[in-house]
């Protein structure tokens, strides 16, 4: 097969040439960019600084690229769901004020903040305020925002999946699981056997529905958050309101179910009375600190992941704004890093759901733990 | 700051959604799922237990069978041994009886023979005595002058005697 080897050798040579060409092209571009900088020194620096200022200023008018603003826009909540370019899904705005009562209209009425509607105005930071700035009446905003909508989608998906599994388990009672049931059962068993039961003990099964719901809510929302396009991409579990409610649920569960030993441990610990002055405040603080840390951990981890991925992408446009070729040169690196981070986030998505559930189980376990009176501490 | 200040709307919707999710999942997903998992676990455990029991039962039956078999074998051996012993005993007994019987028969026969012999001897003695008397009578009746004739007479008488003897015998 001499013919074949020759042609394949030729092909590989072609590839190498192509690669070399690319490298040369990017190198030239970079050098071309650097050349004037070295030549003009101070002048060039002044120029880029000016450009930076201009970008920040110009953004209000929808001009130059500002990574900070872009990232914050993506990470924060919004009143409409931006798809691409100038296309976005309008979402319902639900407002309540004492003077106007309940107001419901679509966010498209604001025209991306350009137009006021019924006396309300959308700010740059996606907040609804009075058009009349002097009005200080409180606005209660119950809008179906991007995060709420994304949460609805994720919750719908969870309900669909889990109820179908629940039904399958009843329909195929006594038979081997298969399909989706077979796929997800190990995770459910993992939560039951490796999270709930070892940490809570005999009462584990009572708290299992809540632990499972928390786990799947966080896990599915984390995964949806990793999908860059609709219906994913919203930063639901990286929103402090969401994690706050989750940890509030944990706090309430722990407080309601805590037994006398738990309270005794906080208010009357088995230490000399003089130590109460230090220990009791610490214990009381701990009661609130635990859910607080739960809230912060999930929020910070997921938001950080989103920010890093968006940051890597921003590199392309930051360099591209300097010179288009530079943007192309950076893009393979940027895409590579983003890919790596996305895979890492996939792990984090599971890990954070797992950690939240595990810590919840531990807190519940601490609260419902039975101690025999003979036991001495 | 915007990032870490929870918005009222989201808190509200999250509370509503999560409560609903918890309620629906608990009722329609976790309950049937966990029950079926528990049932399956129990059925697996039961099946394993049953298998274990069956195996134990099998082992018990097997050992029982073996014991029975060994017992049967022992019994058979015993029966065979007994039969063999009985056979030998019977043969021996028969032999002894036969021997005794034979001996008795022989003894009886000997007795008979002796008796017969004695009877025959007695008879013979009587015959001989009779013959002797007859011969003596004949001799006496005839004239004992002729020596030669006497001799012939004696011979004739004797031959007659032996003939008669052989005829009688």
Q: Which of A21, A50, A42, A39 is nearest to A322 (CA)?
A: A50
Interface check B1 vs A, CB under 8 A: no
Query: Is B33–A169 a contact, with Cβ atoms under 8 angstroms apart?
Result: yes
Residues of chain A in contact with residue B6, where contact means CB-CB under 8 angstroms, are 239-241, 244
State the burial class of residue A231 (Cβ atoms within 10 Å of its Cβ: 0-12, 13-18, 19+). middle
CB contact under 8 A, B13 and A94: no
Instruction: Spell A261-299 as b/e; 16+ CB within 10 A means b.
Output: bbeebbeeeeeeeeeeeeeeeeeeeebeebbeebbebbb
ipTM associated with this complex: 0.76
What count of Cα atoms within 13 Å lies in the side-chain half-sphere of residue A168? 16
Do residues A194 and A240 share a domain? yes
Over residues B122-157, the pLDDT tens digits come to 888 888 888 888 887 777 766 666 677 778 877 887
Which residues, in sequence order, are CB contacts of A257 under 8 Å at separation 6+?
A207, A364, A367, A368
- Rounded CA gap, A353 and A188, in Å? 13
Measured between beta carbons, which residues in chain B are less than 8 angstroms from residue A209?
A: 22, 25-26, 30-31, 34
- Position A304 in a domain: yes
Q: Which residues of B touch A153 (CB under 8 A)?
A: none
Task: Kindly provide the residue ranges of all beta strands, DSSP E only, lying in chain A, ordered along the sequence.
Answer: 80-84, 87-90, 92-97, 101-106, 120-122, 128-130, 140-141
**Distance between CA atoms of A132 and A271, rounded to whole angstroms?**
60
Residues A363 and A260 in one domain: yes
Q: Which pTM value belongs to this model? A: 0.70
- Please determine, for residue A191, whether its predicted confidence score (pLDDT) is greater than 70: yes
Smallest Cβ–Cβ distance between A152 and the set B2, B17, B31 belongs to B17
Of A13-17, A49-53, A293-297, A373-377, the least confident = A49-53
Tell me what pLDDT residue B166 has: 67
Determine, for residues B6 and A125 on separate chains, whether the beta-carbon distance falls below 8 Å.
no
**Parallel, antiparallel, or unpaired: how do β-strands A140-141 and A92-97 relate?**
antiparallel
Instruction: Please tell me the predicted confidence (pLDDT) of residue A56.
Output: 38
Q: Nearest CB to B21: which of A140, A158, A242? A: A158
- Separation in Å, CA A64 to CA A53, A61, A218: 10, 9, 35
End-to-end Cα, chain A, rounded Å: 83
- For residues A93 and A140, membership in a common domain is answered with yes
Tokens describing residue A39: 């030549």
Same domain assignment for residues A286 and A359: yes
On chain B, the residues whose CB falls within 8 A of the CB of A158 are 21, 25
Shortest alpha-carbon distance between residue B26 and chain A (Å): 6
What confidence tens digit (pLDDT) does each residue in A324-352 have?
A: 888 888 888 899 998 999 999 999 999 99
DSSP state of B5: S
- Taking the C-alpha atoms of residue B103 and residue A56, their distance in angstroms, rounded to an integer, is 149
C-alpha distances in angstroms, B54 versus A377, B45, B57, B59, B64? 49, 14, 5, 8, 15
- 3-class DSSP state of A89: strand
pLDDT confidence band for A24 (50 / 70 / 90): very low
Nearest neighbour of B21 by CB, restricted to A166, A217, A303: A217
The reply to whether A25 falls in a domain is no
Of A166, A188, A210, the CB nearest to B28: A166
Do A94 and A215 fall into the same domain?
A: no
Residue A27 scores a pLDDT above 90: no
A316 and A210 belong to one structural domain: yes
Q: How much is the pLDDT for A173?
A: 76
pLDDT band (50, 70, 90) for residue A372:
low
Q: Could you tell me what percent of chain B has a pLDDT over 70?
A: 92
Residue A240 lies in a domain: yes
Chain A residues near residue B32 by CB distance under 8 angstroms: 166-167, 169-170
Are B30 and A166 in contact (CB < 8 Å)?
yes
- How far A211 CA lies from chain B's nearest CA (Å)? 10
- What are the chain B neighbours of A77 within 8 Å (beta carbons)? 7, 10
Of residues A332 and A49, the one with the higher pLDDT is A332
* Alpha-carbon torsion angle A305, A311, A312, A317, nearest 10: 150
CA-CA distance, B25 to A363, in Å (whole number)? 22
- Are residue A203 and residue A294 in the same domain, yes or no? yes
Give dist(CA A269, CA B140) in Å, integer: 170
* Residue A206 forms part of a structural domain: yes
Alpha-carbon span A244 to A242, nearest angstrom: 5
Q: Compute how many other C-beta atoms are within 10 angstroms of the C-beta atom of residue A73.
A: 16
Residue A54 and residue A191 in one domain? no
Measured CA to CA, the distance from residue B27 to residue A170 in angstroms comes to 13
Give the pLDDT confidence score for residue A97 in this predicted structure: 87
Return the ∠ at Cα B94 (arms to B93 and B96), rounded to 5°: 65
Q: Can you tell me the mean pLDDT for B36-52?
A: 91
**pLDDT value for B145:** 63
Residues A284 and A255 both lie in one domain: yes
| Residue A23 reports pLDDT greater than 50 | no
Is B14 an interface residue toward A (CB < 8 Å)? yes
CB spacing of B25 vs A159 below 8 angstroms:
yes
B-chain CB neighbours of A303 within 8 Å are 3
Closest residue in A to B19 (Cα) is A249
Q: Is residue A13 part of a domain?
A: no
Residue A260 lies in a domain: yes
Q: Which helix (H) or strand (E) holds A354?
A: helix A324-368
Rounded CA separation B28/A350 (Å): 24
Q: Closest residue of B to A173, CA-based?
A: B36
Cα–Cα distance for residue pair B149/B155, rounded to 1 Å: 10
Task: For Cα atoms B42, B44, B47, give the angle at the middle one, nearest 5 degrees.
Answer: 105
Q: Is residue A60 part of a domain?
A: yes
| Residues A15, A8 contacting (CB under 8 angstroms) | no
Reference B162, options B117, B112, B133, B124; nearest CA is B124
Closest residue on chain B to A212 (Cα):
B30
Pair A291, A362 in one domain? yes
Write the DSSP symbol of residue A120: E
Tens of pLDDT, residue by residue over A114-129, are: 788 888 888 877 788 8
On whether both A121 and A232 belong to a single domain, the answer is: no
Q: Closest Cα of chain B to A220: distance in Å? A: 13
Give the nearest chain B residue to A175 (CA atoms).
B40
Q: Print the domain residue range for A56.
A: 35-64
| Angstrom distances, CA of residue A330 to CA of A20, A308, B4, B33 | 16, 16, 32, 50
User: Distance between CA atoms of B69 and A356, rounded to whole angstroms?
Assistant: 66
Confidence band of A294 (pLDDT split at 50, 70, 90)? very high
Task: Specify whether A113 is located in the same domain as A195.
Answer: no
> Could you give the 3-state DSSP secondary structure of residue A297?
helix
Is residue A211 included in any domain, yes or no?
A: yes
| Residue B108 CB coordination number (10 Å) | 10
How many domains is chain A partitioned into structurally? 3
**pLDDT value at residue A187:** 92
In the numeric block, the tokens 């419902």 are attached to: A368
User: A142–B14: do the CB atoms touch at under 8 Å?
Assistant: no
Q: Do A241 and B10 touch (CB under 8 A)?
A: yes
Q: Cβ of B17 under 8 Å from any chain A Cβ?
A: yes
């Amino acid at each position: 097969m001499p013919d074949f080897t020759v042609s394949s050798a030729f092909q590989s040579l072609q590839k190498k040439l192509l690669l070399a060409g690319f490298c040369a092209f990017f190198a030239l571009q970079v050098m071309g960019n650097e050349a004037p900088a070295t030549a003009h020194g101070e002048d060039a620096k002044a120029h880029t600084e000016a450009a930076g200022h201009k970008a920040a200023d110009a953004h209000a008018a929808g001009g130059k690229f500002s990574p900070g603003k872009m990232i914050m826009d993506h990470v924060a909540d919004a009143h409409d769901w931006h798809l691409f370019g100038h296309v976005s899904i309008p979402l319902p705005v639900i407002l309540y004020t004492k003077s106007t009562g309940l107001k419901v209209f679509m966010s498209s009425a604001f025209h991306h903040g350009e137009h006021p509607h019924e006396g309300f105005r959308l700010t740059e930071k996606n907040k609804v305020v009075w058009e009349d700035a002097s009005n200080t009446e409180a606005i209660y905003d119950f809008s179906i925002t991007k995060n709420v909508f994304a949460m609805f989608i994720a919750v719908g998906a969870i309900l669909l999946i889990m109820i179908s599994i629940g039904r399958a388990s009843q329909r195929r009672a006594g038979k081997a699981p298969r399909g989706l049931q077979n796929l997800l059962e190990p995770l459910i068993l993992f939560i039951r056997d490796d999270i709930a039961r070892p940490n809570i003990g005999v009462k584990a099964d009572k708290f299992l529905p809540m632990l499972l719901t928390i786990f799947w809510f966080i896990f599915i929302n984390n995964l949806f958050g990793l999908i860059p396009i609709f219906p994913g991409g919203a930063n639901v579990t990286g929103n402090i309101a969401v994690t706050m409610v989750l940890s509030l649920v944990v706090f309430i569960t722990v407080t309601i179910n805590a037994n006398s030993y738990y309270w005794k441990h906080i208010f009357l610990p088995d230490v000399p009375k003089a130590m109460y002055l230090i220990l009791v405040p610490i214990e009381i603080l701990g009661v609130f600190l635990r859910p607080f840390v739960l809230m912060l951990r999930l929020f910070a981890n997921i938001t950080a992941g989103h920010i890093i991925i968006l940051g890597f992408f921003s590199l392309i446009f930051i360099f591209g704004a300097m010179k288009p070729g530079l943007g192309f040169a950076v893009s393979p690196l940027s895409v590579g890093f983003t890919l790596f981070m996305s895979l890492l986030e996939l792990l984090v998505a599971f890990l954070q759901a797992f950690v939240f559930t595990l810590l919840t189980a531990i807190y519940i376990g601490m609260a419902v733990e039975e101690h025999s009176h003979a036991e001495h501490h | 700051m915007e990032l870490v200040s929870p918005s009222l709307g989201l808190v509200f919707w999250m509370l509503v959604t999560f409560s609903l999710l918890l309620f629906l999942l608990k009722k329609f997903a976790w309950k049937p799922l966990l029950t079926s998992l528990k049932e399956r676990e129990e059925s697996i455990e039961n099946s394993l237990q049953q298998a274990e029991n069956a195996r134990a039962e099998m082992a018990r039956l097997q050992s029982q069978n073996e014991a029975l078999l060994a017992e049967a074998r022992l019994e058979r051996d015993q029966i065979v041994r007994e039969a063999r012993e009985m056979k030998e005993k019977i043969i021996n007994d028969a032999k002894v009886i036969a021997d005794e019987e034979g001996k008795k028969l022989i003894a009886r026969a000997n007795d008979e023979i002796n008796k017969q012999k004695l009877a025959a001897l007695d008879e013979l003695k009587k015959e001989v005595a009779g013959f002797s008397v007859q011969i003596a009578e004949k001799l006496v009746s005839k004239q004992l002058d002729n020596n030669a004739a006497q001799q012939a007479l004696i011979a004739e008488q004797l031959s007659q005697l032996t003939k008669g003897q052989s005829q009688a015998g």
